[in-house]
Structure 1
Amino acid sequence: MRGLDEGALRALVPRVLAGLVRRGEDFDAAEDALQEALLEALRVWPEHPPREPGAWLATVASRRLVDARRSEVARARREEAVHAEPFPPQSAVGEVGDDTLFLLFCCCHPDLAPISQVALTLRAVGGLTTREIADAFYVPEATMAQRISRAKRTLHGRRLDQPGDLAVVLRVLYLIYTVGHGGRVDLAREAIRLARQLTLATEEPEARGLLALMLLNHARRAARLDAEGRIVTLDRQDRSLWDAREIAEGVRVLQSALALERSGRYQVEAAIAALHDDAASAAETDWLQILAWYDDLVALTDDPVRQDPAAVLARAVAVGHVLGPAAGLRETDRLQEAIGDRYRWHAVRGHLHELAGDLPAAGAAYAEAAHRATNVAERDHLVRQAARARA
């Protein structure tokens, strides 16, 4: 399309859609109208490119919405929506003036299930196609289309004057990040892009903490898998493959968050990631500081064993490195009744036994973890760990 490349159009669509929704239009109807406007643009723009593509799309989409309102069935209800006063954004970012962020908060509406919040965010804010989202989640396109349709039906008729709060938005962005880096769309990069926009609109330190955490973890992406696509654990990664610029940015963002002295989960996790990234080798890891941060992390919840078992298990590993493997194993003994049925509990036991030099016990623990693992890549990795220990 002459005058506007695909990347610029992808960035433009969420802003136009958000402008329609902010005005009080129904989410589903607004998206349908915008799709019709895009089809019209494909026909008109090659010969008559507009000076203001966004305004052109908004005008054509608005006309389509007006045409739809002429339906006899819903005339009264839609006329009422037309004459209602437009509402201000009631999100934690306040008056940001960024329609993309407003749309992000609307997609995280509290009435939507987490998976629906993620799918709708990627579709409406990220500008991804249903097929791209389905590929990223490794589900059929039809399944993802149903999820998105259900989410839009849930929002049907709502004025969206109570979009999701900042904590929900942060959780959705982190879930998008952790879904994976495979497929034709790198969801990690998309989550980082959206988190960057969010930090420009709010002074909330947890937003910066989340961005820092993403950057510090994403910096290691090139070293996470070997040439055959197998998992490489952090202690065995080639650190020369880590992205030093991304690490430096993550540290800067984290420092700006910690300076506000309102600590939260994402900031603490980012601080732990920064300490791992700062070590030139696994042997030089500052486990004492890492343990202190894990102490802070588990203190954020009333019942960390049940509410945050991953953090408690990670703390047991840190205890093993600081106070010795026996101390770490005693920590896992204390956790056995509550979470001893999880594969990660057995994997941590395997690591601590290996740290202590008890390779037969390590092999047995890794094998039990592999038996319980559901993720194929993690299961294969644990099988190799068990075989290595036994050898």
Structure 2
Amino acid sequence: MKIIYCTHSVCNPGGMERVLVNKVTYLVEKLHWDISIVTTDQKNRPAFYPLPEGVRMTDLGINYSDDNVKHPIGKIFGYLLKRRTHRKRLTELLMREKADIVVSLYPSESSFIPLIKDGSRKVLELHFCKFFRLQYGRKGLLGLIDRWRTRQDERIVRKFDRFVVLTYEDKGYWGNLPNIEVIPNAAKFMGNTSSDLTVHRVIAVGRLDYQKGFDRLLRTWRMIQQTGRYADWHLDIFGQGEWHDWLQGMIVDWQLSDTVCIHRPTERIGEEYAASSIIVMTSHYEGFGMVLVEAMAYGVPAIAFDCKCGPKDIIRQGENGLLVREGDIEGLAQAMQRLMDDEPLRLRMGEEAKKVVDTYSEEAVMSQWTALFESLANR
């Protein structure tokens, strides 16, 4: 089978990029399918996660991200011009390649890719929740555009042969669409070890930007350290992004340098999970929350804000972790202190956390994807 994935880029150490590379690796090495990746903003940068031999990469050179620094009006006109070029170049490529399945990872080509009559079945794979455009709460012209595009999304997703979301929570927000299907992210478990949950270490993983909300985590940690009872606990954040310097400034200003450290992303994150006792997610919004599943596979109990979407599907309250009302900093501090104080509770939750492997293993999830692709190709 021949499949083409369309995405922004694969040069960043994000969860979306890791999921794509894991999926492609499975399809190539286990099923020997013909897989290509088409990007818009790769700019000759190498893939952060190594791709298997035989996967072809093509960058269309659209570079949407170049317009991020422009005034809102400039952003709008720049986007419209780039989208026109994007449609032309992608159409030429798809007509030439004649794939069985073309998967859009959203959102650049989603508005026009179902209209390209190259003979392939079209799949839209959403790695965010339905309301991801609204989470920033932008005002003025950009806020109007965000609301308009959210309404347009409901029309766009219906045009695909299959629309895949990551959680049942998100599926409920889209309503009774005839083409919608839930397939979670597969977590590629990186070892057979488990944390013994005795190390006084909290871990958080993700891009250093608004979405992941690490400023909220640092405010919580400051509150915890002000009690004077947790000087032997350490918080390690793994990630990179535009908020790095601001977050580092918070750490210095609040005199947290002895107990908090921001680390660059690592390909050996499994070793870091195994050396931690709690995983915390403070995102404003998610599509899934793969880092929760990955850490829980190592027996690490999870704490997360109950944001849209993902944590609700993964965490069973009080069994394998704790959910905290979205944005409740004090509640998050209480939840963290509860697990930090109670090692037997951590151990009980850690044993339950390991059971995520039954639902989110690579074999379980990829069997859903292969069934979907084969059913579409045989139609």
| TM-score (norm: length of structure 2) | 0.27
Choose between structure 1 and 2 for higher RCO, CA contacts under 8 A separated by at least 6 residues.
Answer: 2
Structure with bigger helix share is 1
The structure with the larger Rg is 1
| TM-score (norm: length of structure 1) | 0.27
Structure with bigger strand share is 2
